[in-house]
Structure 1
Amino acid sequence: MRGHALVGYGRFLQVLEIEGELLAEAAHSASPDAPVPGCPGFTIGTTVRHVGSVSRMVLEWLRGRGRPRTWQRDPVPGQTEVGFMRSALAELRAELAAHQPEERTATWWPADPTYGFWRRRMAHETTVHRVDVQTAATAPRRSLPGITEDIAVDGIDEVLTLWFGQRLPMLGLSADRDTSVAVRSGRHTWIARAGPGETMAWRCSAREAENADAVLSAPPVQMYLWLWGRRSLGEVTPAGDAEATARFWALLRLATR
């Protein structure tokens, strides 16, 4: 096992189940037509359907041993969007639980072709969209059920190393000039670097982070949600080159859209 995750892989199955139920409960409490601020153009209904569709897509990745061309994207006649999502998540959890996390399978990250990749990826997919739906369904000042710090720290690592460091190059996107930004949260530090020649992110020491063009700091949950575009810049503490921070933010939005 390459050990990309910062928590045990069993945790991701727990998170997938808990977050899926929280998402379903939130969706039941509000109109499916309510807009979702974290996903412009999405409603609660389309967000729930999206999670169900992505879960079905991952099942096809696992069963077909490669990138799927078709999968079930919508509820069948008579099935609600929440029912579609719940059944897809339950089937996906069962499939993931039936295999050891280190067992090899097809993924879109060459560095981690394992079932563990999908446990981690779908735990974070469901967590972020749970926050989306609860934010849309809840009065703005009412607190949301928390994300635990260990999952938030792992989520920071995933969005930086996978989405910034892998997906941007897959899309052929980078910065027009070399930029490096350090991210500090909890007891962990990362560097994200982009430029005409390379785009990558890695865990680093606090001392190595001092050489970055800019440094962003925040508690883990705030940083996790900020990196996914679910919080404002005011919730992180920036230092250093403001242009580097702006470039980093713009690249993240392209990577995670």
Structure 2
Amino acid sequence: MSPEHALVDQGRLLTALESEGEVLVEAVRAAPLEAPVPACPGWSLGEVARHVGSRYRMVRRRLVEGRSPDEWQRDPEPGQSLARYLETGLAELLGELAAHDPAEPADTWWPADPTYGFWRRRMVHETVVHRVDVEQAAGVEEREVSEDLALDGVDEALILWFGQKLPLLGLTGTKAGSVGVKAGGHSWIARAGPETTEAWRCSAAEAEEADDVVTAEPWRIYLWLWGRASLTSVTVRGVHDQAAQLWALLRLATR
């Protein structure tokens, strides 16, 4: 899979990383850092901010060094606020990503896409999901995720995290079956069981043949797949067992 296989243009991914990162920085600057994060038990809002700032720096080092780094700046400098730590990490990562064509080879954990474009996409969704965490922890109304980013995020959650990361971790479902996911004119199948964990894009008709079929607005499915929305936020047609298994397996893949 090449960078062109993302559902949105690579230029859009880069500008979205910048804009979503700026929203995250401002949300952290305005929020109580000790607030608990509903979707991440045991984490405070400040710890989410620290995690994202660290991840920005880790990915930049990985791109520069061509391998997963052993060391990087994991905490703010003395006297540096978490918001500023996030802001500077984002700026450095954006600079590195913008300096390279998205098709240029890069070290990634997905053999199907060893390019700079992988990290443009991955860090957009890292930022969006944790921006939602900060908003939920702060008790403010979360902004909807734009439809194009949400659809791309659904695709990433299913094909990358469910279809690639779970097998890498050696994790499988307990009951064989499939889930069709339909949103915004796009459809996917996720199949799990003791022998198989895979996901792919499909036709609407194929998705309808799955054991369970999940439908909702793209941003609701996106947040549901990432564990940031409850099962009742989407519509599930079927016996619900496979949809519940999909949700549970994604919690293991993305933790």
Which TM-score band applies after superposition, normalised by the shorter structure?
over 0.9
Q: Where does the alignment leave 5 or more consecutive residues of structure 1 unmatched?
A: none
RMSD: 1.2
Question: How far 1:87 sits from its partner (Å)?
Answer: 0.6
Amino acid at match of 1:157: D
For the residue of structure 2 that corresponds to 1:174, the secondary structure is: coil
AA of the residue aligned to 1:218 = A
* Residue in structure 2 matched with residue 46 of structure 1 by the alignment: 47
- 2:154 maps to 156
Q: SS at 1:200's partner residue?
A: strand
Paired residues for 1:218-257 under 5 Å: 218-257=216-255
Aligned runs of 1:1-257 on 2, under 5 Å? 1=2, 3-139=4-140, 143-257=141-255
Indicate the SS of the match to 2:4: coil
Q: Once the 2 structures are TM-superposed, how far is the Cα of residue 2 of structure 1 from its aligned partner?
A: 5.1
Identity %: 58
Moved more, 211-220 or 90-99: 211-220
Unaligned runs of 5+ in 2: none
Q: Give secondary structure in 1 for the equivalent of 2:159.
A: helix
**Shift in Å at residue 138 of structure 1?**
3.2
Between 160-169 and 189-198, the greater mean CA deviation after superposition: 189-198
Secondary structure of the structure 1 residue equivalent to 2:190: strand
Cα shift readout 1:184-231 (whole Å, capped 9, x = no counterpart): 111000001112222111100011112211111011011111110111
Q: What is the deviation of 1:21? A: 1.3
- TM-score, normalised with respect to structure 1: 0.95
State how far apart, in whole Å, the 1-side matches of 2:194 and 2:235 are. 27
Which residue identity is paired with 1:232? Answer: S
CA offsets, 1:88-116, max 9 Å, x none? 11000000000011111110000000000
For residues 208 and 46 of structure 2, what CA distance do their matches in structure 1 show? 44
